[in-house]
Amino acid sequence: MGAIMKRVEATTEKQDILCAETPAGPVSLVVFGASGDLACRKLYPSLYELYRRELMPSGFYVLGCGRSELSDDRFRDMVEESLENAGIENAQGFHDFLGRFYYESGHYNDTAFYTRIREKCIVLDNLYNLDGCRIFYLSLPPFLYTTVTEKLREVQLACPAATGRMQTIRLIVEKPFGTDLRTAKDLDDHLHRCFDESQIYRIDHYLGKETIQNLMVFRFANSIFEPLWNRTFIDHVQITIAESVGVEHRAGYYDQSGALRDMFQNHLLQMVALVAMEPPAAFEADSVRDEKAKLLRSIRPFTPDRIPLEVVAGQYGPGTVGSQQYPGYRDEAEVNPSSQTETFVAAKLTVDNWRWKDVPFYLRTGKRLARKLTEIVIVFKHIPHSMFANAGLDEFEPNRLRFQIQPDEGIYLSLQAKRPGSKLCMSGLKLAVDYQKLFEMKMPEAYQRLLLDCMTGDQMLFTRQDSIMLSWQLIQPIFDYWAENHKNLCVYPAGTSCVSCAEELMEKEGRKWTIL
Ligand code: BG6
C-alpha cells in the first residue's frame, strides 16, 4: 500500500519548559595543540558561545600551548579568525573575551616548556584571582598523549596538592583512545599513573549532540514508551551513521584506522548503550555510566564462527555524490593504493539480557555514501493478527520510531490511520517533531555542552574507562579475525544509498534497512 506521509506538528507550551543549567565556576583552560584545526574549528567558537550566554565565570583565561611560535597578540588574532570562520564577528564582549587568551610555545618533550607553562599559570592565576579549577585540554595527535601527561606529572601540574591554590585539575582527551585492546589498555594505565579517573574527561563528541542527549529524556521522562521498550514489542533496532564526505585530509590517520575503529568502537556503541540500557538510578554521571557499562557487558562477544555472518566491511570505489564525481578510496591522496582499510562497516549485535533477548541491533557506518544521516530506528513488531486481512489490507508496515540525530534533527513515529472517504482505506502517517522548527533555534555545537560540563565537573557525557575497555574487548576479535583471514571488502560506488553486503546482512533475516 502506497504510504502517504503527513506532517503533524508538535508544539511546546511555555509553562512546560523546565530547564536546569549550571554556569562554570572560575577556571583556567590550558589547551595543547592550540593553533590546530580542532581548537580553531570547535573549541574557541564554543567557548565564545558559552561566554555570550553568560555561562563563563568572570574569572577565566585560556593559555594556548603549542609548537608554533606565537605572541599572545598573534594568538588572539588566530582565535578571532576562528570565531569569524564560525560566523561570529565582532560580537558582544569580543574584546574582553579575546583579551583572556595567552600563549606559550615549546616542544612537547622538553620539560622546560612545562615549567614555563606552570610559571605562566601562576602569574595568570594571580592576575585573574583564580582559585578554582584548571583544565588541560589535549587537542593533539594521540601519540603525544603519554608524553604530555607524563611531563605534566613531572612538573607537578597534574597533581592538585602540588599546584598551590588550585584545588581541581582535569584532563580532556579526544578519541582515539588506543588503536586496539592492548594499546587502549596501555594508554589507560599511563593516564592513571598521572591522573585519577575522576579527573579524566574522554570526549566522544556524539554524546554532546543534543539529539543524543535527548535519548535519555525521551526514554525516562515519558511513561508511554518504556513499557514498549523490550523484546515483546520491538522487532529490531537499526542505527546508522552515514557520511557523504570521504577521507578528506585525514588519510594518514584514517588508512591506519578504518570505520570499525573510527566510528563503531565509540560513537555507534555509545548510541547502542543509550538506546538499550536500563533506567539509571539517578540522572548523575556514575549512575548513567554504570548502566551503559552493564549494557556493553551484555553484548554477545563476536566469535570467529559468527564474524563472517554478522560483520561486513566495504570500501568506496569511484562514483558521484550529488553531481560531483569522486575518486575511489584507494585513489585518494596519501592512501595506500592497495589499502584493505574499510570505509564502511555493518554488524548485527545481540544483547544477552532479559529485555533484549532475540532483538537484533543492526549497526552501519560509512563514508562517501549518498548523504549525511545519523539515525536510530526502533522497528516495532507486526500486529499479531490483522482483522483487515479479509479486506485484503494486511501488508502494512510495522510502526517505526525514528530518531534523526543529524542533520534536520527530529523524531518521527510512523502509524497507520484511516483515510477519510472509502469505507476502509489506510495511510501511513508520520507524526513528526522537527527540533529546529519547534525550538526555533539551531542545534548548539556538541563542544559547548562538553566544555561546560567539564568545567562544572559533570562526567556524565564523557566515556568512562570501563566502557572504553568493554568496547575494545567487543571488537578486538573482529580485528583478529581480519588479520588471520581474508578481509572480504565489498566495493561500493561513492554516493550509493545501498551497500550490497549490508543489505544482504539484513535481507537474509527478512529485514530491510531504512533508505539513506
Ligand atoms: C569523528 C570521526 O569521530 O566523527 C570522523 O573521526 C567523522 O571520521 C566524524 O567524520 C563525524 O562526526 P559528525 O559530528 O560530523 O557526525
Ligand 1 centroid–CA 389 distance in Å is: 46
Q: Evaluate whether residue 401 is within a structural domain.
A: yes
What pLDDT is recorded for position 15? 55
**Could you tell me if 231 and 167 lie in one domain?**
no
Ligand 1 centroid–CA 477 distance in Å is: 24
Number of Cβ within a 10 Å radius of residue 407 = 12
Confidence of residue 160 (pLDDT cuts 50, 70, 90): low
The per-residue pLDDT for range 233-280, each reduced to its tens digit, is 999 999 999 999 999 999 999 999 999 999 999 999 999 999 999 999
Ligand 1 centroid–CA 262 distance in Å is: 8
**Could you tell me if 158 and 223 lie in one domain?**
no
> Ligand 1, atom 15: nearest CA belongs to which residue?
243
CATH number (domain holding residue 214): 3.30.360.10
Q: Evaluate whether residue 29 is within a structural domain.
A: yes
Asked if residue 6 has pLDDT above 50, the reply is no
Rounded CA separation 292/459 (Å): 13
Which atom of ligand 1 is the closest one to the Cα of 241?
16
User: ∠ CA(42), CA(367), CA(374), 5° rounding?
Assistant: 65
Identify the DSSP state of 478: H
What pLDDT is recorded for position 393? 75
Ligand 1 centroid–CA 204 distance in Å is: 10
Q: What are phi and psi of 150, to 5 degrees?
A: -60, -45
Output the nine-digit C-alpha cell for 276. 538499550
252-285 CB burial, b ≥16 within 10 A, e <16:
eebbebbbbbbbbbbbbbbbbbbbbbeebeeeeb
Identify the DSSP state of 263: I
Q: Evaluate whether residue 11 is within a structural domain.
A: no
Q: Evaluate whether residue 192 is within a structural domain.
A: no
Number of Cβ within a 10 Å radius of residue 3 = 14
Give the whole-number percent of the chain exceeding pLDDT 90.
83
Most ligand 1 atoms within 8 A of CB, residue of 239, 256, 263 to mutate: 263
What range defines the domain where residue 434 resides?
207-507
Total domains in the fold of the chain: 2
Most ligand 1 atoms within 8 A of CB, residue of 267, 364, 445, 463 to mutate: 267
Contacts 24+ apart (CB under 8 A), 300-308: 300/349, 300/350, 300/351, 300/352, 301/473, 301/474, 301/477, 302/474, 302/475, 302/477, 302/478, 302/481, 303/477, 304/477, 304/481, 307/477, 307/478, 307/481, 308/481, 308/485, 308/488
**Could you tell me if 75 and 219 lie in one domain?**
no
**Could you tell me if 168 and 292 lie in one domain?**
no
Give CA separation, 83 vs 43, 154, 165, 205, 447, in Å: 10, 34, 32, 20, 14
Output the nine-digit C-alpha cell for 105. 610555545
**Could you tell me if 133 and 232 lie in one domain?**
no
Give the whole-number percent of the chain exceeding pLDDT 70.
96
Q: Report which secondary-structure segment, H or E, holds 22.
A: none
Which atom of ligand 1 is the closest one to the Cα of 446?
14
Kindly list the catalytic residues.
267
Mean pLDDT of 380-398: 86
Q: Provide the mean pLDDT of the chain.
A: 93
The per-residue pLDDT for range 20-76, each reduced to its tens digit, is 888 999 999 999 999 999 999 999 999 999 999 999 999 999 999 999 999 999 999
If we measure between CA atoms, which residue out of 159, 241, 149 comes closest to residue 186?
Answer: 149
> Ligand 1, atom 4: nearest CA belongs to which residue?
263
Burial of 13 (0-12, 13-18, 19+ CB in 10 A): exposed
What pLDDT is recorded for position 161? 52
**Could you tell me if 234 and 159 lie in one domain?**
no
What pLDDT is recorded for position 184? 96
What pLDDT is recorded for position 8? 46
Which atom of ligand 1 is the closest one to the Cα of 406?
16
The per-residue pLDDT for range 395-451, each reduced to its tens digit, is 888 999 999 999 999 999 999 998 888 888 888 899 999 988 888 888 899 999 999
Mean pLDDT of 106-123: 96
**Could you tell me if 231 and 163 lie in one domain?**
no
CATH number (domain holding residue 63): 3.40.50.720
Which atom of ligand 1 is the closest one to the Cα of 209?
14
Asked if residue 77 has pLDDT above 60, the reply is yes
The per-residue pLDDT for range 447-497, each reduced to its tens digit, is 999 999 999 999 999 999 999 999 999 999 999 999 999 899 999 999 999
The per-residue pLDDT for range 165-204, each reduced to its tens digit, is 557 999 999 999 999 999 999 999 999 998 999 999 999 9
Residue type at position 109: N
Most ligand 1 atoms within 8 A of CB, residue of 37, 205, 245, 343 to mutate: 205
